[in-house]
Amino acid sequence: MASTLYSKCDGSDVHEMPRFYFLQQLWDYVDEIRLSGKPCFGICGGAQFLAYRLGANVHSSPKEVGCYRIQLTEAGIRDPLLEGIPQEFTAFLWHGNMFEIPKDGELVATGEPCHIQGFRFNNIRGFLFRFELNSRELGSWLEVWGSSTAVAGKTPEQVLSECKLNDAQMRLYAERVAANLIHLVSQ
């Protein structure tokens, strides 16, 4: 069975691990997954946690809120989890922290203003970007965190509009990554 770490924009970050029991438990679990060789990937805060657990620095970054262009690196193009994803695509981001690449890991995706958008370390992948969010779900996020879109120089309406424009394509990419993960698990 594969593992997926997923995080909404709930404000907690990897540096708060001692405060949160679930993060302390996750810390040990990631080691089990790493050693098992089973596929595992994290999205947004989940990716930051994985990178941090693998010894990489996680730090403040330019704020990205909304849809941004992402490019796969050569390592990303070769990664079976990203098979069928074009070399350049649009994905959704909402974060204020980013990770460095873990030692012996590979950069699989880049973007601007945050250069590091994804990494691979053996069986573990981490992406700051996400495909699985749609405008309907984003609407509920904006009800809670809408005022924080200003850190990226955008209104909640702009962020929602960006997501609506990309809903259909991101859904296809989400389905592709999910199918790829199932294939990796079944090998």
- Specify the pLDDT at position 153: 95
Q: What is the pLDDT of residues 119-177, one digit of tens each?
A: 999 999 999 999 999 999 999 999 999 999 999 999 999 999 999 999 999 999 999 99
pLDDT-based confidence at 43, cuts 50/70/90? very high
- Domain of 143, CATH number, reads 3.40.50.880
Q: Is the pLDDT of residue 5 over 50?
A: no
How many CB atoms are located within 10 Å of the residue 94 CB?
24
In whole angstroms, give the CA distance from residue 181 to residue 187. Answer: 10
Q: Give me the amino acid identity at 31.
A: D
Tokens of 170: 């991101």
Q: Give me the amino acid identity at 115.
A: H
- Specify the pLDDT at position 97: 92
pLDDT-based confidence at 30, cuts 50/70/90? confident
Q: What is the pLDDT of residues 62-117, one digit of tens each?
A: 999 999 999 999 999 999 999 999 999 999 999 989 999 999 999 999 999 999 99
Across the chain, what does the average pLDDT equal?
89
Pick from 158, 157, 163: nearest CA to 135: 163
Q: Is the pLDDT of residue 18 over 70?
A: no
The verdict on pTM exceeding 0.85 is yes
- Domains in the chain: how many in total? 1
Domain range holding 7?
3-186
